[in-house]
Structure formats: structure tokens, C-alpha cells
Structure 1
Amino acid sequence: MAEPQSVITQVSAEQGLPPVMQEQGQDFLDDDSLIHLNIQENHYYITRDQLMSLPESLLLCLFPSGVFMDRTGQVITNLTSQDEVYVGNFPPDCFEYIMENYVRAQEDLINFPVDEIFDRGQTAHEPSRFFGFASPSSMPSSSSNSEAEILHEKPSLIVLREDLDYYCVPVQTIAYPEDASEDQKMELNENFIAQVKLAAGSYLSSQTSVFQGLRSSNRLKRPVGGASHEAPGKLGPAEQHLKDMLCSSGFHDGSFWGNRAQEPGKTVISSLSLCRLMNETTQAFRNRYEEAKRNYEDRAEALRAHSESPSLTPLVSHTSQSTDMKRKSRLSSLADNVRSRSVSRTRSGSRQRQDVSPTLYELVPKPDINSKLLLFWKKPARKCWWGEEELKLELKLYGKYDAATGTLLLLPEGPIVTIEVPVNLHIRRVWTLELSVVGVE
């Protein structure tokens, strides 16, 4: 399909994805072979394993047709390291944002394997050393406990993507020159609509809050008589449940999109956020563990020094001590001996416990990870909803504005007028949520 040349063109219908991309080139490339990606004339080199370890929701954005194509749009059937895979409808800065997060996660997987650097006090799976893939021995069992434990062993990312397309309905009276032909009127009107859509796109692109769109649904319960910007309304049960799950897994109420951009020539804005799951693989957790370990060692050293310090009991002469012992009854002496042996055993047991290093979760609480995230592991889920806004957009156009009648006269040339045009903005949002676990195929 040819790329639209005008911003007036709305989003096109999605085409089905043939499941051939992962097999394409598999017989011709080794796992460590480089793939040359040309993303809008920005060149990147990535191994096949690195590319195929990305989640399905991101691969669909990079290759919407499901195949590798060259610059001319021809399918590459025999992919080699000399071929150039052309990607024309994906922002390069978004691709760099993706690779930055995944490279960091894969470095943590290789350099800081959880089951090797931590004593978790439990039997764990052998960590994989494959870059983006797992060896068969590292695969979890089919039990839910083993699957949930994967979220503590491997670097994981929550992939949240928003595809937004909008429709503008200007509430503005338009007039044309008396001598304008029908073609000129159509051209003036198209230019006016294009300016409205560009201004609306800039307005929406500046809204970088993740959950702002979730609060703009037409299905929200708003107070009677309250404006949409004054009363955000109450989230429905499904929306609130989704937000709670995300906020308990790394997002927060003030989270921003990691990348947000409008597609050239379209009224489509794509946003992406990659949120690292706060488990045992993160640097923040390792810092907490090191701090807790230092505090424990400092306390143990202080107790050891205190137990080895000289006794401060005053010296008593041998004569007086013998006299005191004679005064004790036989029963009192026996009780003293029992107490002495009991204290000795207690101190000995305390020293033995101090010699045993505590396990990981005795030093740092085990991260509380929402197990419902497993429902989105390798299974992207989508949520679609509509929203509506009434706003005024500032435009600069050739024309004249009659404040008395509220009419805007559009002209092909002449003075530039700055006017605030009231617009009804209809917004369709599609969220795609997926959990990506690095190191597990």
C-alpha cells in the first residue's frame, strides 16, 4: 500500500500477519549472523538471536507484513548477512530505545545470574547463558509455581504500547472568496483541515503521561455538570484493575511514555513504554542486597568484638572466695552449676548461628510480583476504547476573521491571521500489553 502524502489521510485498516517472519532466513543464517537493518536511512546491525528475542508485539511493529523486505519492497527469500532489510515506517529513536533496554537486561542476565550470585535458600533452575534464548535444561517445569519463579530469576520487561488515531471536527464557520472556484474552495478547505490536524497532533503528542489516556474513555463515570478537564471521572472496574496491576509491577501514577511520536503524513501517534520488572535481576535490588549485607556484617562484627572483650568482674581474694563457698549449701551449688552449663550452651549456639551466613530473603524481602503478569507472557493482549475532547487549537492561516459573526474567511494568500478554532476531537486508543522474559525462549 502506498504511503499517504497528506496528513488528512486517517489510519488504514490493519492487515493480517502471516506467521512466516521467524522462519524466513532461518535456513540461511546462523544464530550469531548479523542482520543489516535500514530504519529510515539509519543503519543498525543486530544478530538474529537478538532480533528474534524481541516480543511479538514489537516485531509486528517493525515488520507489519511479517517478512523481511528490501528497499524496493521485494521480499527477501534468501536472507544473508549482505542483504539490507529496509524498515520505512518505524521511528529510529524508538528502535534505539528498545535495544537500550533489552541490551541492559541481557547484560544483567549474563553478568549477574541470580542463582549464582545469591543464596536464595532454595533449589533453582540452572541459568541460561544464551543471548536472548534459553537452553533446554533451563526451561521451567509446567507447574504454576515454577512459572512464577521465572519472574524472580530472569530479567523481565512489561511492554506497553499505545496506538492512537484521532479525528478532528472543527466547529468553525468558514467562508471563501466570492470569485473562488469549486476546486479552489476544496483546496482551501483541505489546507485548513490539514492545519487543524497538525495542531491536534502536536497537542496530543505533548501528552506524555501513560495513564492520561486511560482516564479519557467515554465510558468513565463523570460527575453531572463537570467538565472533562475539571472532573477526570472514576475508572471502571476493568480500567482500574489494569492500572492497579501495572502500578504494582513497576509503573506509577506519574509514569511517562518512553517514546512517543506521530507517524509522518498520518493522524496516528504511537507510544511505547518498556518497564523493567523490579525483581532480583535489577541493579536496584543488588544495591539493597549489598547494603543489607554490609549492615549484617557490621552488626556481627560488633557482637563478636563485644563477646571477646575482657571481663569487668572485680577480683576477689582467694580467702574470701573460699569462705563464701563454704557458706553455700549443697543444693545452691548444684543450681549454680546447672545455670552455668545452660549459659555456656546458649552462647555456643549463638556463635554457631552467627557463623552461618543468612540467605538472600533473610536479608532482603522477596519482591512481591503480581503473578497475573504471566497471563501476558508471549500472549499480547489488546484493549481499545474511544475518547472525546473539546478544545481550542491555535492556527495561523491566510485569511480574515470576523469577530462579530465568528466567520473565518480563507484566502489563498495575503495577511496571516492567528485564530483559536474550536474543535471536537475524537480519539481512538489501542493498548497492547505483553510480558517479555529475557533468557527464556
Structure 2
Amino acid sequence: MAAAGGASSIITQVQQGGPPINTLGDVGADENIAMDLRGTRFVLSRDELLTLPEFVLLSLFPNGLFPEGQMGGSEGDAVQVDYDPESLQYMLDFFRKVASSIPSDTSPPASQDGDAMPIEPLVGSSRDDASKRAGIIVLREDLDFYVIPPKADLQQTEMIEVKRAAARALLKQDGIFSGLKRSDEPGTTEAHLIEMLTAGGFNHDDQWGHRAGEPGKAVVCSLALARLRSDIRGNEMGGNNAVGMAQKLLLFWRKPARRCWWEGVELNDVEGVDGKLKVWIRRVWTLEMSVIGLR
């Protein structure tokens, strides 16, 4: 995999397969695309779809957009998409809220505190244009878990119930950074990642904005969004160092990146299990920056 920030990058760039999302360019900006996400219908414009992160578009349309050249617009031709509708709705609500907060051309620019150090304009824009754009940090976690049978001679149906109980226990562990605390000693990859994300807009005690199990799979998917900080006060988090850490996030604009961890854990108070339940976890984080206001 190519590094997203050099050989010492703290997170590696994702090379996902599938046709390019540029096929959206064939869709008129004022045309709508209808999708059916596991029974929930969404109708989105081309412009709004293009604000979504690249890795989300690849998940929504793994085989490319409309290979038959048809637009989803009427009741019968919505594109069938296997994706969590609540996760997409959470993302749309957040993006729309950020977009509504961006001042219009006729709105006077907000004055900045004299002690604030503005982060460099987003993706090469001038400082005058920067106030009309906003960066959004998009962080997704795919947590695959493998349950060690708590006792011998478990029937298949019993093991399925144990896995479901383990999933419920894992869902309760909803702190974004709680899974990295064991390896966040100073100087580690995890510590750098946490420092960069908290400098950019997250807080150490933040929880996932959306967290749910995937139907029929031993997988828990989580999503968290944060608006990129537009300025950092000189007395906050080391001033210039915090600005530099936040700026690193701009390397991930339209360049989704992935990091994977394995760990063995013991879950307490799992329903139907006496004592601790041993579980192997593969935690995959995908990070990308989106920018609202680009044309």
C-alpha cells in the first residue's frame, strides 16, 4: 500500500477496487438518485452525493454507478444498496448541519480572536474563500470479532446466542479511543493517531456517533464525524504543534486511509456466560477528510 504521508505515515492509504466514482459526472447536478438501503429509501442529488467521502461512495456503489446508464428517480427503479441506512442518515444530517453553518456570499465574515492561529486554507484555497468551506473528519471502525467457545460441547444454536451476546457487550463499549488505550504510550503509532484526531476536532472522551452490528455477521460498524477546527488558540495544546497535527488531516482529503489492529480481550458480564468470555478482535479504522463548499 502507498503511504498517505511518507514512509512513516501513521495510517496507510486504502487502495480499494471497483470502478471510479467519476461516473457521477455523467449525472446532472440537479438530477436526483434514488437508493433503497435495506428497505429505507433515500433520494439524493448528485451534488450532495459528491460531498460524501470516497470510501462511503465505494461502499454504496461497489460495482460503479448505474452500469445500465439508468437514473434512480421513479418508484420502481431505486438502486438497491446493502448499506446501513441509519449510518448514512447520521452522516447526511451532520454534513447538512455543517453546510448550513457556512456563511453565504452576502454574510459578513466572522471576526477571529486575536489569539487564534488559523489553520492553512483548505485544499489550496485563499483565506478569503476559507470561511466559505468547512472540513469534516470522517472516521469509521469495522470491528470483526471471533468468540472462543466458553465451554466444550456447545451446540451450534447455543454458540450463535453466545456470539449475539458478545456483540451486545461490544456495542456498549462506545468510546472512540477506548480500544486504543492499551497501546497509546507516547511515541507509538496509536498515540500519534489520537493526537492528530484530537487536535483536528475530536475529544479524548468522545463516543461513536453511530454504532451498530451488521446483520448476520460478527461485525460491529461504527462511525464518528467531527468538524475540522478552523483555528487553535496559542495557549491550547502547544499552539504551533497542534496546528501542525491538525494540518496533517488534510493529507486525507479524498484519500481514504486504513489502519488495522488485532487484540485479544476478555468480556465481563456477557449474557448467558459464566465468568469472562475470550474474544479475538480485528479493529479496522478508515479515515478520510471531506470538504464542504468546494465546487
Shift of 1:375: 1.3
Query: Do residues 107 (structure 1) and 100 (structure 2) align?
Result: yes
What letter corresponds to residue 52 of structure 1 in structure 2? L
Please say if residues 136 and 291 of structure 2, whose CA atoms lie closer than 8 Å, have aligned partners that are also in contact.
Answer: yes
Return closer, same or farther for 1:46/1:381 CA change in 2, 3 Å cut-off.
same
Structure 2: any 5+ residue segments left out of the alignment?
1-13, 113-121, 233-238
Return closer, same or farther for 1:421/1:150 CA change in 2, 3 Å cut-off.
farther
1:68-121 deviation per Cα after TM superposition (whole angstroms, max 9, x unaligned) = 4xxxxxx5433253331111x322211111111111122223x4459843467x
What letter corresponds to residue 35 of structure 2 in structure 1? L
Shift of 1:259: 0.3
Structure 1: any 5+ residue segments left out of the alignment?
1-13, 69-74, 121-138, 175-187, 221-232, 286-364, 397-418
Shift of 1:422: 3.9
Out of 249, 264, 269, the residue aligned to residue 200 of structure 2 is 249
Question: RMSD of the TM alignment (CA)?
Answer: 3.3
Please say if residues 157 and 276 of structure 1, whose CA atoms lie closer than 8 Å, have aligned partners that are also in contact.
Answer: yes
Alignment-derived partner of residue 239 in structure 1: 190
Please say if residues 140 and 150 of structure 1, whose CA atoms lie closer than 8 Å, have aligned partners that are also in contact.
Answer: no
Return closer, same or farther for 1:195/1:209 CA change in 2, 3 Å cut-off.
same
Classify the secondary structure of the residue corresponding to 1:106. helix
Classify the secondary structure of the residue corresponding to 1:425. strand
Alignment-derived partner of residue 380 in structure 1: 256
Q: TM-score, normalised by structure 1?
A: 0.53
Query: Do residues 160 (structure 1) and 139 (structure 2) align?
Result: yes
Classify the secondary structure of the residue corresponding to 1:117. coil
Shift of 1:372: 1.3
Return closer, same or farther for 1:101/1:165 CA change in 2, 3 Å cut-off.
same
1:136-157 deviation per Cα after TM superposition (whole angstroms, max 9, x unaligned) = xxx965xxxx589876551111
Return closer, same or farther for 1:204/1:104 CA change in 2, 3 Å cut-off.
same
Structure with greater helix percent: 1
What letter corresponds to residue 143 of structure 2 in structure 1? L
Alignment-derived partner of residue 297 in structure 1: none
Aligned-partner Cα distance in 2 for 1:100–1:35: 18
Aligned-partner Cα distance in 2 for 1:236–1:274: 25
Aligned-partner Cα distance in 2 for 1:147–1:173: 65
What letter corresponds to residue 86 of structure 2 in structure 1? D
Return closer, same or farther for 1:148/1:189 CA change in 2, 3 Å cut-off.
farther
Return closer, same or farther for 1:239/1:390 CA change in 2, 3 Å cut-off.
same
Q: TM-score, normalised by structure 2?
A: 0.77
Shift of 1:382: 0.9
Please say if residues 172 and 421 of structure 1, whose CA atoms lie closer than 8 Å, have aligned partners that are also in contact.
Answer: no
Out of 424, 429, 433, the residue aligned to residue 283 of structure 2 is 429
What letter corresponds to residue 377 of structure 1 in structure 2? W
Structure with greater strand percent: 2
Out of 163, 172, 190, the residue aligned to residue 206 of structure 1 is 172
Query: Do residues 77 (structure 1) and 52 (structure 2) align?
Result: no
Classify the secondary structure of the residue corresponding to 2:274. strand
Structure (1 or 2) with the larger CA radius of gyration: 1
Return closer, same or farther for 1:64/1:203 CA change in 2, 3 Å cut-off.
farther
Query: Do residues 94 (structure 1) and 45 (structure 2) align?
Result: no
Classify the secondary structure of the residue corresponding to 2:288. strand
Alignment-derived partner of residue 247 in structure 2: 371
Classify the secondary structure of the residue corresponding to 2:22. coil
Aligned-partner Cα distance in 1 for 2:214–2:138: 20
Return closer, same or farther for 1:190/1:15 CA change in 2, 3 Å cut-off.
farther
Alignment-derived partner of residue 63 in structure 1: 61
Out of 265, 270, 279, the residue aligned to residue 221 of structure 2 is 270
Query: Do residues 195 (structure 1) and 176 (structure 2) align?
Result: no
Aligned-partner Cα distance in 2 for 1:86–1:382: 26
Please say if residues 35 and 48 of structure 1, whose CA atoms lie closer than 8 Å, have aligned partners that are also in contact.
Answer: yes
Aligned-partner Cα distance in 1 for 2:292–2:96: 10
Aligned-partner Cα distance in 1 for 2:127–2:287: 18
1:217-246 deviation per Cα after TM superposition (whole angstroms, max 9, x unaligned) = xxx3xxxxxxxxxxxx73652111111111
Aligned-partner Cα distance in 2 for 1:273–1:112: 27
Aligned-partner Cα distance in 2 for 1:255–1:151: 27
Alignment-derived partner of residue 40 in structure 1: 38
1:360-388 deviation per Cα after TM superposition (whole angstroms, max 9, x unaligned) = xxxxx9x9572112111111111111111
Equivalent residues in 2 for 1:326-337, closer than 5 Å: none
Aligned-partner Cα distance in 1 for 2:106–2:288: 23
